[in-house]
Amino acid sequence: DIVMTQSPESLAVSLGERATFNCKSSQSVLHGSNNQNYLAWYHQKPGQPPKLLVYWASTRESGVPDRFSGSGSGTDFTLTISSLQAEDVAVYYCQQYFSSPWTFGQGTKVEIK
Amino acid sequence: QVQLQQWGAGLLTPSETLSLTCAVSGGSFSGYYWTWIRQPPGKGLEWIGEITHSGSTNYNPSLKNRITVSVDTSKNQFSLMLSSVTAADTAVYYCARGRARSFGSGRLPGIWGQGTMVSVSS
């Protein structure tokens, strides 16, 4: 199985400031046939199911605000919130869908400083 | 809009079989991936398995000997059965629909059910 490792475990950021989360896969999730990284990001607010934010490492899902951006390739990925809003308090998960079983990172919890 | 409503027994004793059903309303059943994911209390997400509308399945090998995911297209429902449960199977179980009718990113859960807490205790 591909192991997904996220850092940091938690993050406290002031409103309006940038938040950055990291995700590392134990093997590359870049597919040679289409040059796509099979990497997605979700966030999960308390008491709610997760919500898909980004797929193909950098494509925002429909309706996701443009303050969320994903980057990276191969084994190292980043999700950035350019200006943290109160409603962004959540746990953020990365997931690979390159090789079954699809696996998630352990999550990064974001709080307001 | 598309909604997923899930139900099933919330309290099981060890060795029983977990059974959950997810009903889809407000949208088409065909062409999508249908997925089960679980989350132990206070922990992260674990992908359980997926099924297409035509019944092709893909399971997490860690559960493969105990899991069955099935689909009933006549009712726009899909189901999860997990046999021989133990305390380690205690979790919130989510059903979800793929984000789009496509391979690759289409299988990613884009619409989720509300979750069902399943506890296993003697």
Q: Do A104 and B112 touch (CB under 8 A)?
A: no
Partner residue opposite A101 with nearest CB, options B60, B94, B109: B60
CA distance A41 to A70: 8
In this structure, are residues A42 and A92 in contact, taking their beta carbons and an 8 Å threshold? Answer: yes
Q: What is the pLDDT of residues A25-61, one digit of tens each?
A: 999 999 999 999 999 999 999 999 999 999 999 999 9
pLDDT of residue B103: 81
CA distance between the termini of chain B: 40
Higher pLDDT, B28 or A49: A49
| Interval B13-17 mean pLDDT | 97
Strands A39-44 and A36-37: what pairing? unpaired
With CB atoms and an 8 Å threshold, state whether B113 touches A101: no
**B82 vs A4, B15, B19, B58, CA distance in Å?**
25, 10, 7, 14
The residue-averaged pLDDT of B94-105 equals 91
With contact defined as beta carbons under 8 Å apart, do A91 and A97 qualify? no
Taking any CB pair shorter than 8 Å as contact, residues of chain B touching chain A are: 44-47, 58-62, 94, 96, 99, 104-105, 107-110, 112-115
Tokens of A2: 């591909």
Q: What is the mean pLDDT of residues A65-89?
A: 98
B47-69: pLDDT as tens digits? 999 999 889 999 999 997 899 99
Q: How many residues does chain A have?
A: 113
In chain A, the residue whose alpha carbon lies closest to the alpha carbon of B61 is A101
The alpha carbons of chain A give a radius of gyration, in whole angstroms, of 13
Decide if pLDDT at A2 tops 90.
Answer: yes
Instruction: Provide the token pair at A18.
Output: 């940038």
CA angle A81, A14, B39 (to 5 degrees): 60
End-to-end CA distance of chain A: 36
Whose tokens are 């898909």? That residue is A52
Q: State yes or no: pLDDT of A15 exceeds 80.
A: yes
pLDDT for the residue numbered B37:
98
* pLDDT for res B87: 97
* Model confidence band, residue B101 (pLDDT cutoffs 50, 70, 90): confident
